[in-house]
Structures are given as C-alpha cells and as structure tokens.
Chains A and B, each alone.
Chain A
Amino acid sequence: MLSGILFMLGTVGVLTRKNALLIFMSVELQLNAVNLALVAFSSGAAVVSHPNPALWLIPALPLATAAINLFWGRRLGRWAGWLASASVIVSFAVSLAVVSQLVAKPADDRLFLQHLVDWISVGRFVVGVDLRVDGVSATMILVITGIGALIHVYAIGYMAGDPRYGRFFSYMNLFVFFMLMLVLGANYLVLYLGWEGVGLCSYLLIGFWSEVPANAEAAKKAFITTRIGDTLMLIGLALIVFRFGTLDFEVVFGTAGTVLTKDAATAIALLLFAGAVGKSAQVPLHVWLPDAMAGPTPVSALIHAATMVTAGVYLVVRSHVLFELSGVALTVVLVVGVVTAVFAATCAVAQQDIKRVLAYSTISQLGFMFMAAGMRAYGVAMFFLVAHAFYKALLFLGAGSVIHGMHDEQDLRRMGGLRRLMPITFATFLVGALAQAGIPPLAGSFAKDAVLEVAQHSGRETVYVLGSVAAFLSAFYLGRMLFLTFFGDARSDRARAARESPPLLWVPLVLLAVGAATAGWLNVTPEGRLTGFLEHVTGFTPAGQGVAVAALAAVATVISLLALALTWWIYGSGRVDWIGFRERLEPLPRAALNGWYVDRAYDTAVIQPAKAGAWVTAYVVDARIIDGAVNAIGGGVKALADGGRQLQTGFVRSYALAVFLGAVAILVYVGVRS
C-alpha cells in the first residue's frame, strides 16, 4: 500500500518537475517504492543465502532514466544528458558500496545472491530474475558503471545539438541496464536477456544517424551477425536445460563434474563460445565491428570497446568450469583468440579511418583476452579486460575529440600536426596509445605481458611468438595513428583549423588517462592483485616469478619500442615518402584495408546463394509447385464438375448450403438409425 503511494508520488514528481535534480529524486522515490513492494512480495518466496537488498538498484537506475528520456527526453532538453549521466554515476556509487561490502567479507564467502521475482515458471523448470555479485561480476559492474559514467558525461558535450539528444541518452541508459543484467544475472537466461538486450541497443545506436543508409545497413549487419552466434548459444542453453534441468550458475557449475560427459561439456562449451565469438567480434564473425563504427563515437567507446564486446570474455570466464571439463573447447578458444589477435592487427595497420583502426585494434585485443582464457588464465583475461576498457575507451573518446575538433573528419590522411592545436587531446591520446602499445608502467604493458608470460610459462611457444607478433603490429598501428594524427604538417584545411574540444569532452579524457596509466597496478601489488581477488571464482591463476618475468617484460617492451621507432621513421621523421611507399606495396595494403576481403567472400559464398535460394523457394517452390498443385487440383475438380454444371453454380454460398444440407441429412440418418 505504502509502496503504491510512494510510486504514485514519484510518478507525479517526474511528470510535473522540469528540474533534472527533482526528477531524479522522484525516480529515487519510485525505485524505493518498488523496493518496498519487492521486499514485501518476496518474503514468502525463495530463501537465498546471500541477499543484498541494494543490488537491484544498480541496473534499475539506468532503466528508469532510460524510460524517462525515451518519453520526455525532448522536453528535458539539455537535462536529458545530465539525468542519464547522474543515474549511471549513482549506479556506480551503489556498485562501489556493494563491492566494498563484498570485499569486507571473508575471501571464501564473497558472494551476493538476490532473488527478485520468478521470470519463467513452467512445470518444474523455474528461472528467476536472480542477481549475483562475486569477484568477476563485481569487476564488471565497476567497469560498466565507472567507465560508462565518464562516457555519458563526455556524450553530453559530444552529442550537444543533436535533434534526438534525449533519445540518444535513453538508448545509452538502456544499454547500461542490459549490460548490467548480463553480468549480474545468476543464471544463463538473465545473462541471455542482457546479451540480446545489449545487441538491441547496439543496433539502435549504430544506426542512430539512420538518415545515412550505410549506418542503417551497418546496424542491421551487426545485429544479424551477432545473432548467428546468439542462436547457437541459445541451443547451448537448451542443452544445459536438457542436462541439468536448470540454468542456475550455482547448480550447473556445482554439479557439472558429475552430470556431464566430456563430449557433452564440449558441445555446451562450444555452443556458448559461438555466442562469445559473435558478441566479441572474433574470427569468423568479426565482420560487423568495423562497420559498427558508423555509430556516434561515445557509442563506439562504450559498447564497441569497453563493455559489450567484452561480454564474450565474461561468458567464457563465467562458464570456465564447462570449458575445462571439455578441454577441447579451451583449445578452440585459444586458437580463435590467437588467430583473431594477429589477423585483426594486420587489418588495423592499413586502415585510413581513425575509428576503423581502433575497431580492428579492439578485435585484436579481444583476441588477447580469449588467448588468456584459452590458457586457463581467467584472472589474466579479466585483468586485460579492465585495462583495455580504460585505454580503449580513452583512445575512442580521444579520436572522438579529434573528429569533433576537425568537424567530422575521420580520415588519417587529412590530419597531421594536431598536437599543438589540441594539446590536451594529444596528451591523453598519447597516454592511451602508449598504454596499449605496452610501454611500462602504463596499464597495457602489465596486461599484455601477463598474457605472453602465461604462454611462455605453460610452454606454448607458438602462442608466445604469435602473441608477440600481434603485440608488435599493435604498437605499429598505434604509432602510425599517433604520428599521422598529431605530428608532421597539417594535411588539410580542416586540420589547420582544428580546435581543442570543450572541457566536457576533455575532463573525461583526463580521468580515463589517469586510469589507463595506473590500472596496471591493480595486478602488481601483492596484496591487491586482481587475479587474486578473482580466484574464488576463476581458480588459481598460474604466474611466473622474479627474473624470468622481468626478462619477458623487457623483451616485450623492446619489441614495442622497436615498432614505435619504426613508425616514427616511416610516418614521423619525414624522411620516408609513406604514401609512395604504400603505393609501391599495392595490392597488399588494399587487401588489408578491406579486411582481407572476408566481407566480399561472405557475400559471394553465403549471402548471394542464400538470396537465390530464398527466391527459388518463394517464387518457384511455393508459388509454382505447391500453390500450382493446389490450383491444379482446383482445376481438376472444376473439369470434373463441368458435366454436372447445374450443381456447380460457382457461388460459395451454394457450396456452403450443400455442405450444410449434407450434414443435416447425415445427422438425421444417424439419429434415426440409433
């Protein structure tokens, strides 16, 4: 009752106030009301061992503001962005509070599990909306809300003046909601809800500027390509239900060892991994991510770099029990990771569009994460994920700042010399690039070294060598991007007229730069090691010690520095005619630029035949053969009936009458006989 009144009050508040702060308070009031109602109704339901009543707030806040901005975004004007950002910031604060409570618990009991309501309940198959926070999901929610908040604030400036400003923030908030559900879900179905939900938001945001047909096309391509993986994953879920009778993580992971044969585990793990390959844009389903850069840059930073695309890594880490039971599946993860890391890096080297460089770079870096997971170093994969979220979000937002400063110019060939005109952007971008290139003591070096170290440590020499090649290429394309953008002479009028972006844009850059510079230390100090914190979920992460590690790190750093020096010589020193150089190498750069023609191959081998097949099915099989048979039967009947034309009037009502009379006659006959 009370909750009802509170909710009404909150609704009235939202509808009447114009001030964003008041609206926010009203929303709070509504959420409190929902909370009361939930507590009141759930008392009789499930008994959950590790409740945390604040948990549901984390996803609920962005959901509430998403709804508000969807319907009243236009009326809110500028406030829409602030409202959206505030809700993510508060969500971040709640996450911090929850995680600190989690950390305060003894190491073997770090778990919150909250049952909200039953979602699906049919027979004995019950799926609840259950939220779960352990080390892995704690890490994820902090990344999502923390980096998400910075990107939201950045977007206030970046999207200013867009006619559908409120709509944009509604979708962004909705994305944060689904992403949080994805990582907080305590069973595979809630995870799948988030999984599909982020796909929806990705679709909406890639195609946000849908006036350009290519953007709409890219959005559709992203959704459909990932849905191929999602569908296989859905079959995986069906297989889990078939084996376990439930989708709860606790039950599945707790009993997997006794329930699953090795083959069954392989089947499930590979089907789940198919979902991960789609969502995380790994080979062979990577083709959607470069095109997804059609979305506004904050979208690329949040969805296509820091969070959504890492969902696949999260899925593998979360389900590592199943992957380990299989063994084979882990090898597949490793191979896909290595292949993707190297393949995408070769594509990144040749891109002309600054965002496409970053897109291929993201694909390659995600490959590194899968590499780590494939070698059972799940803690390292998560550590890489966190570090990458910082520096890749930074690089994207930095690129966004460049694009903004140059009035929507994205082509590297028309940039140059921006370091004097955009000093803050340059400084932060430099931090991000060096971080990813692996220059100590920035975040990326620790993360990348940890992966290479695991490879070396476990005797996988090939992985180590290929990983180092990818790392070299990675430093190379970053250096190339850095020199082409910020050094040398301005190569266009726009580059000469570029201006530094406003504070709303560069303040988040600075904060992210601090993160990208220091996140590496998360895994360095002995007491605060992230991998250690995750061990209760992921198991022990093997790591080398002492001199050997230092030597590996030194080798890796030298490789990166070599690559950077090479790019300086080609693109920065002015001594090499890099445009002529590129022309001499044709058609190699052209092939890399086009992603080695994978898209074209898919079009020829899959899409065109499929279209032809569908055409034949619809217009030959259906229209001619099946319907043709029907019409032939009709024609046959008609021919037969030509003799008895008196009966065949052609009026349907007389047929109906005949049937009716016939029925009556039979009835009477049967009635009389009995």
Chain B
Amino acid sequence: MRQHLLTFTILFPLVGATLIALVGRRIDDRDTRILALLTTLATFGVSLLVLRDFQTGATGYQMVDRASWVRSLGLQYLVGVDGISLWLVLLTTFLFPISVLASWKIGTNVARYMVAILVLESAVLGSFVALDLLLFFLFFEAILVPMYLIIGGWGSGNRVYAAIKFFLFTMAGSAFLLVGILFLYSRSGQLGPPSFELGRLTQVAGGLPVPTARWLFLAFFVAFAVKVPLFPLHTWLPDAHTEAPTAGSVLLAGVLLKVGTYGLLRFNLSMFPQASIHFATFVSVLAVIGIIYGAVCALIQTDVKRLVAYSSVSHLGFVVLGIFAFTQQAVTGGVLQMVNHGLATGALFLLVGMVYERTHTREFAEMGGLAGVMPWLLGAFLFVVFASAGLPGLSSFVGEFLVIVGTFAVSHLFGALSAVAVVLGAIYLLWSYQRVAYGPLREEHRYLPDLSGREVAVLAPVLALLLVFGVYPSLLTRSIDPATCVTIEQVRSSQTCADVGGPVVPAAAEGRQP
C-alpha cells in the first residue's frame, strides 16, 4: 500500500474522470460536480498520506514505485518524491478541489469540463513525481490537451487564439525536450540496457563532451523556459490567462507554470551541472529582466487578469533567479516561491473570477467602489494583495527574501535589481486594488452580493495557508532543504551546500540547529 501511494495519487483523478465520462450523460450536472469534487478531495486525502509517510530530513527519493513496461526498450513506470516535488504535489492536490468548487457555475458541458480538469490533475501530478524521462515527457505533454480544451472550450472572447497560442508555444518547446531525451536515451545503451531512468540519464549526461552537454542543456531549457514562462518567451501567458475560465487561470498560474521551474531544477540542474554553471549568468539575466519587465508591464494594464498574468512573469522570474544562484537559501527560496506563488496568485485569480461573475467585466475602468458593497470579498482581496506584494508575515515574503538574500551572495547586482520588483509590485497591486475597491461606484453594482458560503469555502483554506506559510515556513523548508541541498551539491560538485555569506558562522545559529 505505502509504496503505491504516489501511483494512487495519479490514478484517482483518472478513475474519477473515467467514471464521469461513463455516467456523465445519465446524471445531472450537480452530481457531476459533486463527483468531481469528491474525486479531487480524495486525491488530496491520499496526498496527505504521502505527506504523513514522508521522512522529513532524509535525502533521496521516497515512496518509489516502479513497474516495467516494455522491457526490451527499457520503458518503465517509475515515480518517487523528494522534498521539492512533495510540496508541488500537495499544492496541486490542494488547488484542484478548490478549482472544482470555483467552477460550480460552469453550466455548459459540465461532464466534459470536469473530465478535462481531472485528466489535467493526473498529468500534472505525474510530471511532478515521474523519475523516468519518457514518463515525464508523456505527462508533460498530456498537460497540454486538457488545458487547451479548458481554455478553448470554456474561455471567453478571444479564446481560440489564446488556446492555440498556448498549445503551439509549449509544443514547440517540448519538441526540443523530446530530442534531448531521445539523444540521451540513445547513448544510455553504452552503460547497460537502454533506459529513460533519471539516474541513468544523469550518468550518461555526465559522460558527454562539454559542448554536447551544453546543447542538451539548451534543449531542455527552452522547453521549460516556455512553460515558466521566462522572458522573452512569455507572450502566450497573458493571452491564455485572460481568456481562460477562472479555474483555468488558477490552475495555470497555480500549478502548470511550476512544471517549468520544477523541470529546470530537477532536470537541467542535476543532469547538466556544468552547463548550468556555464549558462547561469545568461539565465539569471533573463530572469532579472523578466522580474522587472513583468512588473513594468503589469503597471499599465487595464485588464485585471492581464495584470495578474504579467505579475506572474515577474514572480516566476524570482523562482528562476533563485534556482540559478545555486545557494542553499536561494534555491530553497525559489521552491518556496513556487508554492507561495501558486497559492497567492491562485487566490488572486479566484477573487478576480468572483468579481467578474458579479460585474461581468475585467476592465478596471468599469469597476470601482466595490469595497463598500462587498466588504468581505474586497477584504479577502486586500489580504491577498498584500500577501502577493510580499508583506512579511504572509507567505510570499519568505520566498522572495530568501531568493534576494541567496542571490545577493552570488551577485550584488542581480540581488539588488530583483528587489526593485518589491516596489513595483506594491505599486501595481495597490493601484489595481484602489481601482477595484475605491472610488465612485457604478449604479448597476450597487446591489451586488457579498461572498457566498461556497466562495468562503473556496477562499478560506487558501488564505489560511498564506498566513500559516508566512508565519511558519519551516513547515515546508525542513523537507525542502535536504532536497535542494542534494541538487546544489550536484551542481557545485562539492560536499557542502553553499550557504550565504558571513565570515564566521555565528555560534548562536549553530547552537540552534537541532
């Protein structure tokens, strides 16, 4: 049982999807929604078991589940978690029931919609736990189809353009990834039976000539950079976010983008450590540009969803910057930022969706004065705005701070430049809040209802976590830390994780370590 937990996590949504696909026509929409909700909740429950059984502080992959598939080709099913993927799995299983609940008002083709959502969940979970590159690639590609359908089928306005743009961008990126994986696979035969296993391919990559490794690094990098998205490959994101339905945006920002940063951390860094160091400055420059560029673009947006999309470009730049600083604090901060951005931006999209459901507009110019009408909704909005702006005590601060501090140790310039986003973030977030909440109220908005019970149920868990992770980030870091340490050791090919600064390690801090 225990060793199959991860497999159960992946399978549960698929089973639910199959069920809905089979009986969806015979039951009414409400039952379909409940079925989907129960499926995602059950998946979340299973992932909590994963958390319970996870050995905090241990390094290496845990709960590894392996099954042979096509033995002669070395195809296999191989999954496992470490401290990094653990939290991404939990973030995923946490956000899906919330997204289902947030999609309650979707009324067309409910069964198909829920099937797409559930398949998406399986694919995302699979990408986070796959330890075999072919398996990873299959999951990675499988994400595209349901997301494409969700945007294209249940989106707004210009949804077809957005969906195709999303699809082609990512597809173009993954073509490189596939080539890279197959190249490594073709070389794996020299070390025994051919295999796609991460460990084996890492060995293979380690034996490659330097230029080849660099080309392969770039092949992987492009695929993940599109997904992140890293400047200048980001232009699909504002369109996709704007046209996607609420749950689509939540999931896109909350978990899908993390597949990109996760891929960089898991595959690029550990498989091509020297190439990672070689390209670190290049990647960091792109990340810093993205941080500032995304924030600047966000400043001037008139569409609230586009604004949040650009803020994602900025926030994910932080993640990439942290990962490519190769210090313990920065990388752990980057992983924290993945989780926290998922929660904070997820919450922002949820709230934007709730406002949209009431006012039927995404344009700031057509809102205003809503704080007086819906105090609780706008109160929650303000909470999330400050969480997103990196207020200490709320979750995003810890990740951002660690990335800045950890990067600063490597490059003062990048560290300081990335801090500029702290000011810009405050400007675009507070300005947008002001335009939504204050100012003159439109006559037709005078009697809008405040949060419903369902919406409270959607928001409360996210908001609670934003606070908990801000006050007590050790909850995450104590399992993330050992995992990032392993990665950093691989990159720096040394036996110690690189800590930030200080001529002396302070005795006080030493003594406090358990």
Contact = CB atoms under 8 A, between A and B. Distances in A.
A120 B423 contact: no
B189 A674 contact: yes
Given A200-B391, A241-B502, A122 B426 contact: no
B185 interface: yes
Contacts of B513: 124, 126
Interface string A29-59: 0000000000000000111000000000000
In this complex, the interface size class of chain A, counting residues with CB under 8 Å from chain B, is 35 or more
A126 B512 contact: yes
Interface in A420-477: none
Nearest to B300: A614
A235 B411 CA distance: 12
A251 B404 contact: no
Contacts of A241: 405, 408-409, 500-502
A121 interface: yes
Contacts of A123: 328-329, 332, 481, 485, 497, 499-500
A609 to B, nearest CB: 13
A413 interface: no
B376 to A, nearest CB: 11
A245 B509 contact: yes
Contacts of A255: 504
A597 interface: no
Given A210-B371, A251-B506, A614 B419 contact: no
B500 A242 contact: yes
A7 to B, nearest CB: 17
B506 A667 contact: no
A617 B297 contact: yes
B23 interface: no
B392 A192 contact: yes
Interface string B468-489: 0001111001100100010000
Contact of A125 (B397, B415, B439, B509): B509
Contacts of B506: 244-246, 248, 251
A383 interface: no
Nearest to B297: A618
A243 B502 contact: yes
A109 interface: no
Contact of A235 (B328, B392, B419): B419
Contact of A246 (B164, B408, B473, B508): B508
Interface stretch (A85-93, A370-378, A652-660): A652-660
A231 B419 contact: yes
A397 B179 CA distance: 73
A659 B509 contact: no
Contacts of A115: 512
A667 B485 CA distance: 35
Interface stretch (A136-144, A334-342, A579-587, A619-627): A619-627
Interface in B401-446: 401-402, 404-405, 408-409, 412, 415-416, 419-420, 422-423, 426-427, 430-431, 434, 437-440
A527 interface: no
B473 A627 contact: no
Interface stretch (A215-223, A492-500, A559-567): A215-223
Q: Which DSSP category, helix, strand, loop or mixed, fits chain A's interface?
A: helix
Interface string A238-273: 110111111010110001000100000000000000
A237 B405 contact: yes
A192 B426 CA distance: 16
Interface stretch (B10-18, B28-36, B167-175, B246-254): B167-175
Contacts of B392: 189, 192-193, 196-197
Interface in B286-332: 293, 296-297, 299-301, 310, 328-329, 332
A666 interface: yes
Given A118-B474, A123-B332, A656 B300 contact: no
Nearest to A230: B422
Contacts of B168: 634, 652, 655
B405 A670 contact: no
A63 B473 CA distance: 20
Contacts of A250: 508
A213 interface: yes
A188 B497 CA distance: 24
A284 interface: no
Nearest to B328: A123
A216 B301 CA distance: 20
A246 B512 CA distance: 13
A106 B440 CA distance: 61
B426 A234 contact: no
Nearest to A212: B438
B374 interface: no
Nearest to A668: B73
B452 interface: no
A622 B499 contact: no
B7 to A, nearest CB: 23
A606 to B, nearest CB: 12
Contacts of B404: 234-235, 238
B398 A223 contact: no
Given A126-B509, A245-B502, A614 B474 contact: no
A207 B385 CA distance: 16
Contacts of A46: 508, 511-512
Given A122-B329, A123-B328, A242-B409, A223 B512 contact: no
Given A125-B499, A213-B439, A656-B145, 16 more contacts: A45-B512, A47-B511, A122-B477, A124-B509, A125-B329, A189-B392, A196-B391, A211-B438, A223-B430, A231-B419, A237-B405, A245-B501, A611-B299, A659-B178, A674-B186, A674-B194
26 contacts: A122-B332, A124-B505, A125-B509, A193-B393, A196-B392, A203-B430, A211-B372, A216-B437, A224-B426, A234-B404, A235-B404, A238-B415, A242-B501, A245-B501, A245-B505, A246-B502, A614-B299, A618-B297, A618-B310, A627-B235, A630-B169, A630-B235, A656-B171, A659-B171, A671-B194, A674-B189
